[in-house]
Copies of this chain bind each other. A is one copy, B any other.
Amino acid sequence: MDRTLAERTKYFDNAATTFPKPEVVYKAMDEFYRNYGVNAGRSSYKLARKATDLIDETRELLAEMVSFNKTERIIFTPSATIAMNQIISGLEWDEDKTVYITPFEHNAIIRPLRYIEKKYNIKIKTMPFNSLTFELDIDRLKKDFEKDSPNYLFMSHVSNVTGFILPIDEIITCADKYNSVTVLDCAQSMGLIPISLQKLKVDYLVFAGHKTLYGPFGIAGYIDNSKIGLKEFIIGGTGSDSLNYFMPESYPSKYEAASQNICAIAGLNASLKWIKEIGIDNIRDKELKLTKQLVGGLEDIYGVAMYMPKDIIKHVGIVSCNLDDYKPEDLGMILDEDYGIAVRTGYHCAADIHSFLGTKHRGGTVRLSLGYFNEESDVDYLIENLKQL
């Protein structure tokens, strides 16, 4: 029998979306949607209540994963980008506000903030990281904070381009005395790198269902661990308080206009249970082993430049590299066309990181990103073929 294109492809684009998903995810989406594919709504008929129960349980699974206990403050959005837009748009802004970001941010943070900058003339400052070692210059950061005290911190937990795990504890500790609001983008980390909201003072934690959580597209959100309260962003029907011209003030309704995508939530529900069963540490261990193999293999290839910290423990399975004489885009095409290897090339929706890495003039990087379903043999195959070039 002919193998499908997916079967013939060695997939190294897990940072864009993890693929494949665990079998239970596909199954849960299909079965739940066939059996309970209705519009969830409180105190409605049985099928709708089943859908609502699924949503509630999924919030609980997410809460448990980050040691959080206010499930009603887990807000679902259709994408992490919308979650970030909700947060940024929901905060208070004026020209006295100073925001700190890192060089590693995704355009889901950079672009909304630059839009705000244009509108309110805020100050956006970049935290000082060493572009070779990726080390944070903590002394300089402290001085920066003293000079321009931070109102808001926006940072990725894990860089989507370099796979670097940011020293978020240190940054949050430095910011502690300024009473600033911390927004943490966990699109590339939740489900892979343990995080506890009991231990870490994060105000808003953004997650994406379809990346390290191994769920499907269409479900993401944020955890509201803040006291400040956001203005609403997406405004519309909530299935409750319908005669009210304005959004209800209660959580999560105020931030969840429109029908819930219970098909996607069924997938996320299944993937969260799958992660729990396997264990975050085991997923991380497997990926780290593969990452070591990948990095070791790349080091042996003449003319390969890798953009990552020395210490691999500060790193997930996302490796950005370039190969002498090849434009990233051309290398990506060769890998795809000649070897059936799927990688992502270019700037990876991150505007600042390429100035930091010095990869702007090169057209970005070739990004090789691993997931739980990659195997040693895939990495061998990739390395072997890169050696042939």
Known contacts A41-B344, A108-B237; is A79 also within 8 Å of B19 by CB? no
How far is A36 from B20 in the complex, measured between Cα atoms in Å? Answer: 9
Assess whether A34 is interfacial by the CB under 8 Å rule: yes
Task: Number of A interface residues at 8 Å Cβ cutoff, please give it.
Answer: 88
Contact with B along A216-230 (1 / 0, CB 8 A): 111000000000000
Assess whether A322 is interfacial by the CB under 8 Å rule: no
Interface set of A (CB-CB < 8 Å, partner B) = 4-6, 9, 11, 13, 16-17, 19-21, 26, 29-30, 33-39, 41, 43-48, 50, 78-82, 84-85, 106-108, 110-112, 114-115, 210, 216-218, 232-239, 242-247, 257-264, 329, 332, 335-336, 341-351, 354, 360, 364
A111 touches B78 (CB 8 A): no
Known contacts A34-B26, A37-B19; is A112 also within 8 Å of B43 by CB? no
B106 touches A237 (CB 8 A): yes
A81 touches B236 (CB 8 A): yes
How far is A26 from B21 in the complex, measured between Cα atoms in Å? Answer: 17
Copies of this protein chain in the complex: 2
A41 surroundings in chain B (CB, below 8 A): 16, 344
A114 surroundings in chain B (CB, below 8 A): 245-246
A342 touches B47 (CB 8 A): yes
How far is A336 from B216 in the complex, measured between Cα atoms in Å? Answer: 32
A235 surroundings in chain B (CB, below 8 A): 81, 85, 111-112, 115
Instruction: Using CB atoms, name the residue of chain B closest to A346.
Output: B242
A44 surroundings in chain B (CB, below 8 A): 332, 336, 344-345
Tell me which of B43, B257, B329, B342 contacts A38 (CB under 8 A): B342
Known: A5-B47, A81-B236, A81-B258. 15 other contacts (CB 8 A): A6-B34, A6-B35, A11-B47, A29-B30, A47-B342, A78-B261, A108-B258, A112-B235, A115-B235, A115-B246, A236-B349, A237-B350, A238-B349, A242-B350, A261-B264
A4 touches B348 (CB 8 A): no
A45 surroundings in chain B (CB, below 8 A): 9, 13, 332, 335-336, 341-343
CB distance from A260 to the nearest CB of B (A): 7
How far is A21 from B34 in the complex, measured between Cα atoms in Å? Answer: 8
How far is A237 from B105 in the complex, measured between Cα atoms in Å? Answer: 11
How far is A235 from B87 in the complex, measured between Cα atoms in Å? Answer: 12
A5 surroundings in chain B (CB, below 8 A): 35-36, 46-47, 50
How far is A58 from B290 in the complex, measured between Cα atoms in Å? Answer: 38
- Most chain B Cβ neighbours within 10 Å, of A4, A38, A239, A347: A38
A11 surroundings in chain B (CB, below 8 A): 38, 47
Instruction: Using CB atoms, name the residue of chain B closest to A350.
Output: B242
How far is A232 from B34 in the complex, measured between Cα atoms in Å? Answer: 36
Known contacts A45-B336, A216-B263, A243-B360; is A17 also within 8 Å of B37 by CB? yes
A236 surroundings in chain B (CB, below 8 A): 81, 84-85, 106-108, 111-112, 349
